Each structure stands twice: as structure tokens, then as C-alpha cells.
Amino acid sequence: MSAAAKENTVPIILVAAVAENGVIGRDNGLPWRLKSDMQYFRAVTMGKPLVMGRKTFESIGKPLKGRSNIVVTRDRAFARAGVIVAHDLVRALEAARGDALRRGADAIAVIGGTELFERTMPLARRMALTWVHAEPEGNAYFPKIDPQVWCEVERHSPPKGADDDYGITYVTYERAGAA
Ligand SMILES: NC(=O)c1ccc[n+]([C@@H]2O[C@H](COP(=O)([O-])OP(=O)(O)OC[C@H]3O[C@@H](n4cnc5c(N)ncnc54)[C@H](OP(=O)(O)O)[C@@H]3O)[C@@H](O)[C@H]2O)c1
């Protein structure tokens, strides 16, 4: 039995690519092309249930393979093949937790956008952020990170790939005092 199943809880991880000015999105898309980060995102989230807002799902365009896709929307008519729909965040996290316990996943990944990051940051155990070394214009933002709450535990700057618009640094944060 996994540690999460024994504890009867599943940690929440926030996964995001964030520009130096806090921007995460522009006009329902990403303001950059970063192949290295897409590969990193895949590795970090693989096997974990994903919780995302409806606009983030639409911007991705299809369910991500190898992961349960839980989409939060207030639209009672919303339905898409391969997607679990939740009409509020509490139900989305319940569905994600059940899915993680059934599949032996070690965490729930919240992947955006702004409102979901804001609402789940107080609940999260860890954040896997990709800092994008740019200040693009945008209209979706990551919430402020309180340094009293979040400790940096890992940092890695990969070489800039040919298909990366900007340099990036992967930084993992853990909630202060989290076991
Ligand atoms: N850089 C990154 O890591 C990253 C990650 C994710 C997204 N993005 C970008 O961010 C943008 C999208 O993010 P966004 O913040 O605009 O939108 P979003 O959070 O993806 O979606 C917002 C929608 O989610 C639903 N929703 C949110 N909170 C809810 C709640 N508590 N209860 C029920 N439904 C809820 C609502 O859907 P309905 O309107 O259907 O009711 C709301 O309009 C895009 O540009 C995307 O590319 C970037």
C-alpha cells in the first residue's frame, strides 16, 4: 500500500510555467514555445490525476494521455470524451483523490489556470515551477509566492534547446514544515 493510501490523503502539487513578471498565459494560449518544458511537464505529471480549469483544457485541446483529466467548469452542459467533469473545486479534488488512490498515484497535479492556482495554493504540499526568463505580455497570472510559506528545495537550469523561445529554470518548492 502506498504512503498516500495509508495516510488516506494525497498531496497536491501545483505545476506551472511562470514568466518573471508572473504571466502564465495570453489569449487562452501560452506566450511562448518551450519544448523542453513540455517534456518536463509530461514527466512531472505522468500517471497523476490532473485538475484544470475549463479554459486550460480548451487551450490544450484534448485530454492528456496517461493521466486522468479532471476539468472544472460551472457549465452543467460541458462534456468531452476522455474527461471527468467537476462543477466545483471540492468535487474536482475528491475525484482526483479517489483516482490517485485507485491507481496508486503519489500526488494530484493542479495545472492551472489562475483561479485554480489561487484556490489550491493554500492546500498544496509542493510546487514544480518552470521559471521562464522573459517578461511577455499576458492576461493570466500565477499567484504571488509567499517566501514564509514556500521553501525552495531543488533548482536546475537546463541548456536552452533549439525549440525553446527562452531560457528556463526548474524550481521545486515545498511547504515549510511539510514532512
Ligand atoms: N503557463 C502555465 O503553466 C499555464 C498553465 C495553465 C494555463 N495556462 C494559460 O492560462 C490561461 C487559462 O487560464 P485561466 O486562468 O484564464 O482559466 P482557467 O482557470 O483554465 O479556466 C477558467 C474556467 O475554469 C472554470 N472554473 C475555474 N474555477 C472554478 C471553480 N471554482 N468552480 C467551477 N468552475 C471553475 C470556469 O469555467 P466555465 O467558464 O466553463 O464555467 C472558468 O471560466 C491560458 O492562456 C492558458 O494557456 C498557462
Of 26-30, 103-107, 175-179, which gets the smallest average pLDDT? 175-179
pLDDT at res. 8: 56
Quote the ligand 1 centre to 159 CA distance (angstroms): 30
pLDDT at res. 128: 98
Q: Which three cell numbers stand for residue 64?
A: 492528456
pTM of the model: 0.96
Cβ(132)–Cβ(166) below 8 Å: yes
Q: Tell whether ligand 1 has an atom less than 6 A from the beta carbon of residue 70.
A: no
Cβ(127)–Cβ(14) below 8 Å: yes
Q: Tell whether ligand 1 has an atom less than 6 A from the beta carbon of residue 16.
A: yes
| CATH number of the structural domain spanning residue 163 | 3.40.430.10
pLDDT range class, residue 1, cuts 50, 70, 90: very low
Give residue-wise pLDDT tens across range 85-136: 999 999 999 999 999 999 999 999 999 999 999 999 999 999 999 999 999 9
Quote the ligand 1 centre to 57 CA distance (angstroms): 8
pLDDT range class, residue 178, cuts 50, 70, 90: confident
Give residue-wise pLDDT tens across range 40-80: 999 999 999 999 999 999 999 999 999 999 999 999 999 99
Total count of domains within the chain? 1
Q: Tell whether ligand 1 has an atom less than 6 A from the beta carbon of residue 74.
A: yes
Quote the ligand 1 centre to 24 CA distance (angstroms): 11
Report which protein residue has its CA nearest ligand 1's atom 36.
Answer: 73
By CB neighbour count within 10 A (0-12 exposed, 13-18 middle, 19+ buried), where does 149 fall?
middle
Mutate to test the pocket of ligand 1, among 38, 70, 72, 139 (most ligand atoms within 8 A of CB): 72
pLDDT at res. 96: 98
Cβ(116)–Cβ(53) below 8 Å: yes
Whether pLDDT at 143 is above 80:
yes
| Residue 28 lies in domain | 3-175
